[in-house]
């Protein structure tokens, strides 16, 4: 029996995964911005010429950038996993998608194939890339297309704005 998901539920999934993918991408690609801000923080502390403050922050100097980015990326993946494995989302599928992130993401792609739905071609960012971060064995090529007129489109869902 083929896997199917209704159109409104593809939109819901796209909205949630799009935001989580955006958070993941920002944590991954904006590490340079976090590094600059971190440098400014330490310059700000140093400008105060208070040795006590230097001592307070000294232990964090090398860890803050990695911690912010790695933890935020992990959090986005954890949230996506919880979302996709929830009873609410699993109810969107016509056939039970299983209990692991691997089976649910594979069922999502199988549903997209059966329902002729498309998502933006994989790159180093976006929803397809994020799905691959959740399930490295996932094959999405059958449902990928250029980012125009698609069902789950990065330019619509993977943005820093509320999509209605």
Give the pLDDT of residue 33: 72
58 pLDDT band, cuts 50/70/90, is: low
pTM of the predicted protein model: 0.82
Average pLDDT over residues 16-20: 93
Q: How much of the chain exceeds pLDDT 70, in percent?
A: 83
27 pLDDT band, cuts 50/70/90, is: confident
74-104 per-position pLDDT tens digit: 999 999 999 999 999 999 999 999 999 999 9
pLDDT above 90: residue 114:
yes
The alpha helices in the chain, defined as continuous H runs, are 7-29, 31-47, 51-58, 64-84, 87-90, 101-114, 127-134, 154-157
């Amino acid at each position: 029996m083929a896997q199917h998901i209704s159109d409104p539920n593809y939109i819901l999934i796209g909205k949630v995964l799009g935001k989580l993918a955006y958070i993941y991408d920002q944590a991954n690609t904006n590490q340079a911005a976090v590094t600059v801000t971190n440098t400014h923080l330490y310059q700000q502390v140093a400008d105060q010429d208070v040795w006590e403050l230097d001592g307070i922050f000294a232990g964090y100097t090398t860890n803050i950038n990695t911690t912010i980015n790695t933890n935020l990326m992990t959090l986005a993946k954890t949230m996506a996993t919880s979302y996709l494995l929830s009873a609410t989302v699993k109810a969107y599928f016509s056939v039970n998608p299983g209990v692991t992130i691997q089976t649910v993401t594979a069922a999502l792609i199988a549903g997209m194939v059966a329902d002729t739905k498309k998502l933006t071609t994989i790159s180093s960012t976006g929803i397809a890339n994020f799905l691959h971060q959740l399930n490295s064995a996932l094959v999405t090529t059958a449902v990928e297309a250029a980012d125009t007129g698609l069902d789950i489109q990065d330019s619509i869902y993977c943005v820093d704005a509320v999509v209605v």
